[in-house]
Amino acid sequence: MQLRRKGTHSLRRVIPRFLQGSMRAELQFPQLSDASPDPVLITNTKGQIYYVNPAWEKLTEYTFDEVKGKSPRLLQSGKTPRKIYRTLWKRLLKGQTFSTDEIINKKKTGQEFQVHATYYPVKNGNKIRFYVQMFHDITHRKTIEKQKDAFIGIASHELKTPITTLSAYSQILEKRLDEKISEHDKYFLKNIKKQTDRLNGLINDLLNVSRLESGKLEFHFREFDLNALVQRVVVDFQYTTDTHVITKIGSIQRNVLGDENRIDEVLVNLLTNAVKYSPVADKIMIKLSNDKKFATVTVQDFGYGISKKDLPHIFERFYRTKDKDEGKVAGFGLGLYICAQIIKRHKGKIWVESRKGKGSRFSFSLPLVNSD
């Protein structure tokens, strides 16, 4: 049996005696791992390292001799969220595998690296014999993602100031010239305002998404009346559209716990989409209800609808459907992603029911106060 790895250490030495013989299949695992381009580490049930492959040595800059018998904790940087390790151990002890993108480790030199890690227990019958960790280095991808998020944050921040100024000046002009200009010119001014508002909305989406990614989107939770908020949003929103009539039905019996401004954003986003994606319809329904624990708000339109294949992806970041009509509508595919993240932070739910050509019903629920 070829269990010797070039130059460094013999695999026969690192595989416990109990595995040699009865568990030939498992014995082949380190042999295969030697050839793996991805780093592999094996520990015994006491959490001591007894095998690492050459790719692991290359990534971490530790040699096998330096780490054998030690705990893989020597790699920990303190930057991996604690809950990841808690979930990991819960899963492993139940004999289940666990994968995550959130492990940030450090090399022997102290340099950090991030990995997509898969952990799994190897059993003999019912008994766990050892644990395998497989890493895939994603440091480069994560760095690029962070740079991209930082760029989006800076760019949208810089774009916001001129747009806000343009919007304010066009509003002032509209008021000052109201009596003195022709209907034509009023139409032009109104359009400047409308387009700057749209730009503002797009920039806000970009800003929000970059704050979400960097964990800087602030939330101020307090008890509030969702009926009153929906009423206010509907009245304000109705001013911005002369193509659709918004009808509110139902009510919620108790206050909810949440960030009123963020829920305002969710409602405006859903109503904006309801208008954008139903150009030939003329009504939008907004329905309020509650059960014992949750308040639910549903925004229903009678427009394009969403096909079955798109439904599972609709709340994903940058997701836009590829349909011809919807393609003509401007957007980044961020609005619903932001809504979903906001509702998630409230420990609520967001979902959609829709049929192509029949319109859509977007709903979200929020916990009522005094419900556990």
Give contact residues for ligand ADP (rule: CB under 6 A): 273-274, 277, 301, 303-306, 314, 319-321, 326, 331-337, 360
> Whole-number minimum distance, CB 270 to ligand ADP, in Å?
7
> Which of 103, 157, 152, 144 lies closest to 318, judged by CA?
152
Nearest CB to ligand ADP, comparing residues 26 and 310: 310
For the residues of 278-311, what is the DSSP string, one character each?
-TT--EEEEEEEE-SSEEEEEEEE-SS---TTTG
Q: How far is the CB of 311 from ligand ADP (least distance, A)?
A: 10
User: Cβ 372 to ligand ADP, closest distance in Å?
Assistant: 32
Q: Which residue, 124, 133, 130, is CA-closest to 15?
A: 130
Distance CA 70, CA 66 (A): 8
CB 148, min distance to ligand ADP, A: 18
d(CA 363, CA 349): 8
* C-beta closer to ligand ADP: residue 19 or 336: 336
Helix segments in 51-182, DSSP class H: 54-60, 64-67, 82-93, 139-176
H or E element, residue 351: strand 349-355
Q: Report the residue number, 268 or 368, with the smaller CB distance to ligand ADP.
A: 268
Min separation Cβ 337 and ligand ADP, Å: 6
Tell me 70's DSSP state.
S
Q: Which two tokens stand for residue 35?
A: 């050839």
From the CB of 234, what's the least distance to ligand ADP, in Å? 16
Q: How far is the CB of 315 from ligand ADP (least distance, A)?
A: 8
Q: Which one, 116 or 320, has the nearer CB to ligand ADP?
A: 320
Which of 333, 367 has the CB closer to ligand ADP? 333
Q: What is the CA radius of gyration of the chain?
A: 28
Q: Which residues pair with 214 in a beta bridge?
A: none
Contact 310, 355 (CB under 8 A): no
Rounded distance between C-alpha atoms, residue 75 and residue 66, angstroms: 12
Q: Identify which of residues 278 and 365 has a Cβ nearer to ligand ADP in the complex.
A: 278
Q: Which is nearer to ligand ADP, 102 or 326 (CB)?
A: 326
Closest residue (Cβ) to ligand ADP?
A: 331
